[in-house]
Structure 1
Amino acid sequence: MLSTEEQLLISLADLLNDPPREDRVGRCLSAGVDWGRLMALGNHHRMTPMMHSLFSRLNDERIPETVRSVLDSIYEENRARNLDLANHLSSLAKSFKELSIDCMILKGLYMARTVFQDMAWRPMADIDLLVRKEDMSRADALLTKHGFACEAESAPRRFYHFVHFHLSFVHQPRSKVPIVVELHWALQDRYRVLHIDTEGVWQRSEEWSFDDRPVRIMNHEDLLIYLCYHVDKHSCFSRYVRDFSSIRAEEILSTESQVKLLWYLEILLLLKQTQKSMNWNVIFDRCYQWGVQAEVRCTLESLGKLFGASLVQKPVAMLKPSPPGRLTSVLYPLLLGRPGSTGRSTGTVAKRLRSILTREHPMTHFRAVKFLDIGAYILPSRESVARRYGRTGWLLCFDYIRRVAKATTLCTIVFTMLVFYGLRAIVHKATNRRQQLKQCGSLMQAVQDGSQQ
């Protein structure tokens, strides 16, 4: 059962519905609210800037002034932060245009400008941009010219281009809140069975004016699928929930969960905004082609659990993906636990294990839990291979053998590169450490010699 604070957070988000349901918020306030817990919950789910405006709209005396004051400060900080991000994006978009580099905005600022009533409502950690892979070197040089520094310096760029799908560039790295640009050349890891057609996304993309700067955005169908995939990538529901209808709101809202309520809310607002133009038949076909039926189904199912959204009833009924394999559905909850579930291990060892498995390695951007995805990538289901290559019979058998050989070779190369560059980074770090200690020793010796004289 949801706590009062969890119910209040959902009820506040529901105020954006038409007509708003202010009575639900009133009932939650009357039930008694632990304001410290609500603020922690809102911060985890990136809802606090929005809470400022929604509480102001209510003008209810039961909301403490201290809470209003804190929310005012958070709102103003996020407003200034988003304006700074927007200014940087506007400058970058102009430069991309001058160099004839196609640039596509992913999520973030596009969603903040289009689906939310106030751009300050959506916190953003970075600017997500997609460029074509052949334009990466020029885009890299452009960001460097604008004062950005690539975080990935432990290995050559070609290593990251081979094993990953984006690079992070940081501006003002010593400031309190640096500006980060995540430059993508693809939309998924290479070692997933699913296949998001990045070139097709480019072909269907639309031009959009950002502060009078032309940029590309996904069309609505691609954007909806991508947002659903992004949510599930963090929740992992499609990996281990065999009965998709068993997903509970408590799991989504738990502070142990990797997903954010804000992400679900922006999908709901996008659906409301585009419900007359959204082509669900195209979405169903594309989900099958990309192999993301389970990811989209789980996200929409969760959306319905949170907001009771009638908009998702038809797609949830139409999307009928195969459940995850039994081994995966056992290993994921065993290693990570289901957030918000009763009786789960919450001891120090269990939390430490989850932290290790889900932590992203700074050099490789790899999480240990992804080894479970690699197993399915090397030995995919027959259905996924048939979907990828569109053949049957003996030709499908040939394609399957070719796919297994290719995946095994790729993973072997990647693993070898990870070990090589990992060891090189360790040696480099140890060498620098020795040099620093040697310099410190020389400095101390010079000080001692000076004092003796």
Structure 2
Amino acid sequence: MPMKTDMVTLEQLLLDCLKEGEPVEAARFAALTPDEWRALVALAVTQRVSPLLWHRLKQKARGGDLPQEVAQTLQDALRQNTMRNLARYGELRALLTTLNREGIPLFLLKGIYLADAVYDVTGLREMNDIDVLARTADLARVAKALAERGYTSLQPICPEVTLKTCHHLPRMIKAGSAAFEIHWNIAGPEESCSVNPEWLWQHAVPVQVAGCAALALSPEALLLHLCLHTSYHHQFAFGLRPSCDIAALITRFGPALDWRTVSDQAVRSGWQRGVYLALRLAHELVEARVPLEVLERLRPLDMTDDVLATTRAQIFGDKQIAASISSPFARLLESRNLFDKIRIFGQRVFISRAAIAGRYSVPVHSRWIYAYYPYRILDLLHRHCHQAKEYHTSNIALRGTVGRADAIASWLAAPMPQQKGSSADSVFSA
């Protein structure tokens, strides 16, 4: 049966279902054809929110409105993700037990903490891997503890190189288990949203996860991290899941959340654009309970409806394409200036010796390291040539994704216009 409902309407139905406590009329479900039901479920799967969708429908007492096939698919998604997450917590517990015995503190970041401490049920939050953070002096020991449990790295682990070029060690993998990513920071040293690692440790709070002691970011610092990750790091290519994370965190910590700290830190650190856009979208898409005065305080003067529409379109765009497009590559494709293209390509080729060493597993002080720069050119051409060709032919989805990624990255990187009443007390006066 053909679809009577367009994708924009299905997107809005998914959003309304994900809103906590928001009723959804039974007539909206009754009007869906079997193909539209399948499209709605496929949309939830693509957005990595199918377990959460089933949970919200049950909360709204709408589980009975679903066709049996759809209900079973969503139930299976929640059950399977719960089993995956429980297995991940088993691996995490083994690591924490070893490190706690040696007195090595470990931060839990993003999904592995959110699924346990923020969401109502462990299986509601999907995750790709397990992100942890340690002090720079402890990176090698954490990696060794994982190696003792059968994890291996696809690249040699060299903390001295990593500290200069990245904010985490190469991913460590084990067959049948989720990968671990060991961070020492939440942003790279050259990123626009760079962070002093000591700021993270100053905002550490003790937590119990998987029956073991660990550390997590304070609610305010965690909220900022979620905003930075979805905006500056990924230009909103991760879809709806970050907005759901933000909404769940605000619901979980409620009145205890210090919005003045969030706002002040965003302005002081130059994160205002990314934090504002992430909070605004979470508020508008899934009704995250962001105080309106906070949004007004953070709103850049050059914020427009076009920025919001472009970002929303990226959230609902092709996830596979978006994940494969870096900001420099998007800028290179979108630029109409030949010299600008040459400059961008040159910056991508002539990266630092430490970056070459980390990427191609060559000793940083090797005299052969310069031979890897020609190889770097071939590597970039091999990885991006096909997409560049597709971009310049007829791939409309790719062109749209690239254009939006470049527009979002450019807006996030633009200097903040002078704003009246920018002092911290202008909104939070007594």
TM-score > 0.5 by shorter chain = yes
CA contact (8 A) 1:152 1:167 kept: no
Measured in 1, the distance between the counterparts of 2:370 and 2:239 equals 34
Equivalent position SS for 2:290: helix
Alignment TM-score, normalising by the size of structure 2: 0.69
Shift of 1:199: 0.7
Counterpart for residue 29 of structure 1: 29
1:286 deviates by: 1.3
- Between the aligned partners of 2:84 and 2:370, the Cα distance in structure 1 is 35
1:203 positional shift: 2.0
Write the distance in 2 (CA, Å) between the matches of 1:218 and 1:297.
Answer: 20
- The letter for the 2-side match of 1:218 is L
Letter in 1 for 2:259: W
After superposition, the Cα gap between the structure-2 partners of 1:8 and 1:209, relative to the gap in structure 1 and judged at 3 Å, is same
Q: 2:217 matched to 1:268?
A: no
Q: 1:291 aligns with which of 270, 274, 277?
A: 270
CA contact (8 A) 2:250 2:289 kept: no
Partner of 1:172: 174
**Match for residue 9 of structure 1 among 14, 17, 31:** 14
Conserved 8 A contact 1:12-1:54: yes
TM-score by length of 1: 0.66
Q: Offset of 1:355 from its aligned partner?
A: 7.0
1:30-109 residue pairs with structure 2 within 5 A?
A: 30-32=30-32, 34-57=36-59, 58-109=61-112
1:281 equivalent to 2:281? Answer no
- Residues 315-344 of structure 1: CA deviation (Å, up to 9, x unaligned): 1101144759xxxx99xx9xxx86638xxx
* Residue 153 (structure 2) aligned to one of 123, 138, 150: 150
Distance in 2, Cα, partners of 1:229 & 1:183? 18
The amino acid of 1:304's aligned partner reads H
Residue among 326, 338, 342 paired with 1:358? 326
Q: Counterpart of 2:240 in structure 1: which amino acid?
A: L
Alignment gaps of 5+ in structure 1: 237-256, 360-366, 373-406, 428-453
RMSD, aligned CA? 3.7
Equivalent residue number for residue 225 of structure 1: 224
Instruction: Report the Cα offset of residue 300 of structure 1.
Output: 1.0
User: Does residue 302 in structure 1 map to residue 281 in structure 2?
Assistant: yes
Match of 1:312 in 2: 291
Is 1:423 matched up with 2:352? Answer: no
Q: For the residues of structure 1 that align with 2:311 and 2:204, how far apart are their CA atoms?
A: 36
Matches within 5 A, 1:333-348: 340=313
User: Residues of 2 paired with 1:43 and 1:296: CA distance?
Assistant: 26
Partners of 1:73 and 1:108 lie apart in 2 by: 20
Alignment of 1:230-241 (within 5 A): 230-234=229-233, 236=235
The CA distance in 2 between the partners of 1:181 and 1:307, in whole Å, is 30
**Separation in 2, partners of 1:105, 1:136:** 14
Matching residue's letter, 1:26: A
Shift in Å, 1:290: 2.1
**Cα separation, 2, equivalents of 1:192 and 1:201:** 16
Whole-Å separation in 2 of the counterparts to 1:291 and 1:197: 13
Q: Deviations over 1:391-440 (max 9, x none)?
A: xxxxxxxxxxxxxxxx9xx954456656848939979xxxxxxxxxxxxx
Query: Residues 128 and 184 of structure 1 are in contact (CA less than 8 Å); yes or no, is this contact kept in structure 2?
Result: yes
Question: How far apart are residue 42 of structure 1 and its match?
Answer: 0.4
Taking the aligned partners of 1:51 and 1:279, their CA distance within structure 2 comes to 29
**Residue 234 of structure 1: how far off its partner (Å):** 4.9
State the partner residue of 2:379: none
The whole-number CA distance in structure 2 between the counterparts of 1:205 and 1:371 is 39
Take 2:181 and 2:355, find their aligned partners in 1: how far apart are those partners? 24
Note closer, same or farther for the CA distance 1:95–1:425 as it changes in structure 2 (3 Å cut).
Answer: farther
Secondary structure of residue in 2 paired with 1:259 = coil
How many Å separate the matches in 2 of 1:369 and 1:415? 21
The equivalent of 1:254 in structure 2 is none
Alpha carbons of 1:27 and 1:198: their partners in 2 closer, same or farther (altered >3 Å)?
Answer: farther
By how many angstroms is 1:309 displaced? 4.4
Asked whether the 8 Å contact 2:237–2:323 carries over to 1, the reply is no
Deviations, residues 133-156 of structure 1 (Å, cap 9, x unaligned): 111111111111121111324x85
When structure 1 is superposed on structure 2, of 81-90 and 67-76 the one drifting more is: 67-76
CA distance in 2 between counterparts of 1:54 and 1:220 reads 23
Q: Distance in 1 between matches of 2:65 and 2:371?
A: 55
C-alpha displacement at 1:104, in angstroms?
Answer: 0.4
**Which structure 2 residues correspond to residues 315-334 of structure 1 after superposition, within 5 A?**
315-321=294-300
- With over 3 angstroms needed to count, the CA separation of the structure-2 counterparts of 1:69 and 1:319, relative to structure 1, is same
Deviation at 1:114, TM superposition (A): 2.1
Cα distance in 2 for residues equivalent to 1:192 and 1:314? 29
Aligned to 1:212: 211
CA contact (8 A) 2:17 2:56 kept: yes
The 8 Å contact of residues 133 and 183 in structure 2, kept in 1 or not, is answered as: yes
Q: Deviations over 1:336-364 (max 9, x none)?
A: x86638xxx99xxxx98x676339xxxxx
What is the CA–CA distance in structure 2 between the aligned matches of 1:148 and 1:355, rounded to whole Å? 25
Who is 2:409 aligned against? none
Work out the CA distance in 2 between the residues paired with 1:306 and 1:181. Answer: 31
Structure 2 Cα separation of the partners of residues 355 and 210 of structure 1: 30
The whole-number CA distance in structure 1 between the counterparts of 2:374 and 2:213 is: 40
Q: C-alpha distance in 2, partners of 1:150/1:356?
A: 22
Q: Write the letter of the residue equivalent to 1:13.
A: L
- Structure 1 residues 45, 355: closer, same or farther in 2, change over 3 A? closer
* Superposition pairs of residues 156-195 of structure 1, within 5 angstroms: 156-173=158-175, 175=176, 178-195=177-194
Identity %, equivalent residues: 21
Indicate conservation of the 8 Å contact 1:4/1:32, yes or no.
no
Task: Give, as a single letter, the amino acid of the residue that structure 2 aligns with 1:82.
Answer: N
Q: Secondary structure at the match of 1:146?
A: coil
